[in-house]
Amino acid sequence: MAGPESTELTSMPPANSPASSFTTTTSIGGSPMGSSALLANSKGDIVRGFDIGTGANCIYPLLGASLLGWNFVASDVTDVALEWAERNVKNNPNISELIEIRKVNTTDGLNNWESSYSEDREGMARSDFCMCNPPFFESIEEAGLNPKTSCGGTYEEMVCPGGEKAFITHIIEDSAVLKQSSRWYTSMVGRKVSLKFLMSKLRELGVTIVKTTEFVQGKTCRWGLAWSFVPPSKKIITPHVTEKNILSFMLGGIQRQFSAIQILQSVEDFFQAGGASCKLNASSFTVDITASTEHCNALLNNEVKHLDEVFSSSNIEKASSNLSFRVSVFQQMPGTLLVKGSLQHRDSPLSGLLSSLVQQLEASLRHKFCREKAV
């Protein structure tokens, strides 16, 4: 869409996208959702995505940065799209540093993939995943872009030489060179016949990890195609570890005036009030907390008996013990956050207190931010 007006995370998806009826004016800003942990790269760094043809709205990077805390490189070839994408990113200052807009240069005409090829490839090489909602059509006629049948997209958005088959084939060919440089290569596909063609292309190149999905909205159907050269890692999380080291709760019914960042700050305030030292990270939406026995005692309303029980079964000095844990806030859907507490060091004699601390935090946040106060 050329030239959308926009302030905060206001989306105008393309006319050829199944997300066309999706509009959001949320300003919740910067809260990562649970799935970011699933996509976290091997070093545990923040996930980095590459959006090929981000469009004027830059909608996917804005959503990914806002909801998941991911970093993005967002590319496009069209000046007007890039200009508006920049504006949209700047209008979301809490996440703007997570998104880099990059112009893909074309020397001999718009949508000449060959000339922009190497730059798109460079972006892909340094990402955990790349994504694309390509121009689907081969010609104006095919796109139905005559004044009578126009569905609102611009020529640049909807049309490229060879249509989506050619566009995504180039991405597939790039990926076959880059292989494991990116973990997932993905694209939206507008037609089932293209999907079949692209899957056979992937088979031809010997790609074995291929996933597809279907997006249906009203009468419109689109497909998602994803492929990878990285074998899935076998990560076994035992119930024991999950139970003891990670505790979470859903905070639903959050009143509209409160943003996720306010709730994160309130997490920090809660633990600081007990004297614990806290480090808030607004881009990963986490607070790292270190609490001594005294701090835990203060936070748990002087439940000295509880603490004495903890130490009676341990020969570690009460005074020298600290509890280090991280609280993460994840956006699940508008008005609902998942709050997760996870131990940083499992062997602390205070580990058993995490559950009580998380319960106290839940009561405090619920009281402050939710319509329904009862847990």
Cβ at position 75, least distance to ligand SAM in Å: 5
Per DSSP (E only), the strands in 165-292 are 184-189, 209-217, 220-228, 246-251, 277-281, 286-292
Q: Which two tokens stand for residue 359?
A: 């319960």
Judge contact between 143 and 137, C-beta under 8 A.
Answer: yes
Indicate the angle between helix axes 163-178 and 192-204, nearest 10 degrees: 30
Q: Which of 9, 33, 46, 52 binds ligand SAM (CB under 6 A)?
A: 52
What phi-psi label fits residue 159: left (phi over 0), alpha (psi between -120 and 50 degrees) or beta?
beta
Residue 294 CB-density burial (10 A; 0-12 exposed, 13-18 middle, 19+ buried): middle
Q: Is residue 55 a contact residue for ligand SAM (CB under 6 A)?
A: yes
Q: Is residue 65 a contact residue for ligand SAM (CB under 6 A)?
A: no
Q: Is residue 164 a contact residue for ligand SAM (CB under 6 A)?
A: no
Residue with smallest beta-carbon separation from ligand SAM: 53
Cβ at position 131, least distance to ligand SAM in Å: 8
Judge contact between 153 and 137, C-beta under 8 A.
Answer: no
* Secondary structure of residue 202 in the 3-state scheme: helix
Cβ at position 129, least distance to ligand SAM in Å: 14
Q: Is residue 186 a contact residue for ligand SAM (CB under 6 A)?
A: no
Cβ at position 64, least distance to ligand SAM in Å: 12
Q: Is residue 328 a contact residue for ligand SAM (CB under 6 A)?
A: no
Q: Which of 36, 111, 175, 187 binds ligand SAM (CB under 6 A)?
A: 111
Is the torsion defined by CA of 354, 356, 360, 362 positive or negative?
positive
Number of C-beta neighbours around residue 123 at 10 A: 22
Cβ at position 160, least distance to ligand SAM in Å: 5
Q: Is residue 82 a contact residue for ligand SAM (CB under 6 A)?
A: no
Q: Is residue 61 a contact residue for ligand SAM (CB under 6 A)?
A: no
Q: Is residue 31 a contact residue for ligand SAM (CB under 6 A)?
A: no
Is the torsion defined by CA of 46, 52, 58, 63 positive or negative?
negative
User: Cα(33)–Cα(366) distance, rounded to whole angstroms?
Assistant: 19
Q: Give kind and range of the element (H or E) at residue 49.
A: strand 48-52
Cα 307 to Cα 211, 237, 293, distances in angstroms: 50, 29, 8
Nearer to ligand SAM, 188 or 339 (CB): 188
How many residues of this chain bind ligand SAM (CB under 6 A)? Answer: 26
Q: Which of 6, 9, 14, 171 binds ligand SAM (CB under 6 A)?
A: 14
Judge contact between 11 and 88, C-beta under 8 A.
Answer: no
Judge contact between 224 and 170, C-beta under 8 A.
Answer: no
Cβ at position 77, least distance to ligand SAM in Å: 4
Nearer to ligand SAM, 10 or 17 (CB): 17
Query: Which span (89-97, 122-130, 154-162, 308-316) binds ligand SAM, by CB under 6 A?
Result: 154-162
Nearer to ligand SAM, 120 or 288 (CB): 120
Q: Which two tokens stand for residue 54?
A: 């981000």
Indicate the angle between helix axes 79-90 and 59-68, nearest 10 degrees: 20
Q: Is residue 288 a contact residue for ligand SAM (CB under 6 A)?
A: no
Q: Is residue 113 a contact residue for ligand SAM (CB under 6 A)?
A: yes
Cβ at position 22, least distance to ligand SAM in Å: 10
Cβ at position 123, least distance to ligand SAM in Å: 9
> Residues in the site for ligand SAM, rule: CB under 6 A?
13-14, 16-17, 52-55, 57, 59, 75-78, 81, 104, 111, 113, 116, 120, 133-135, 156-157, 160
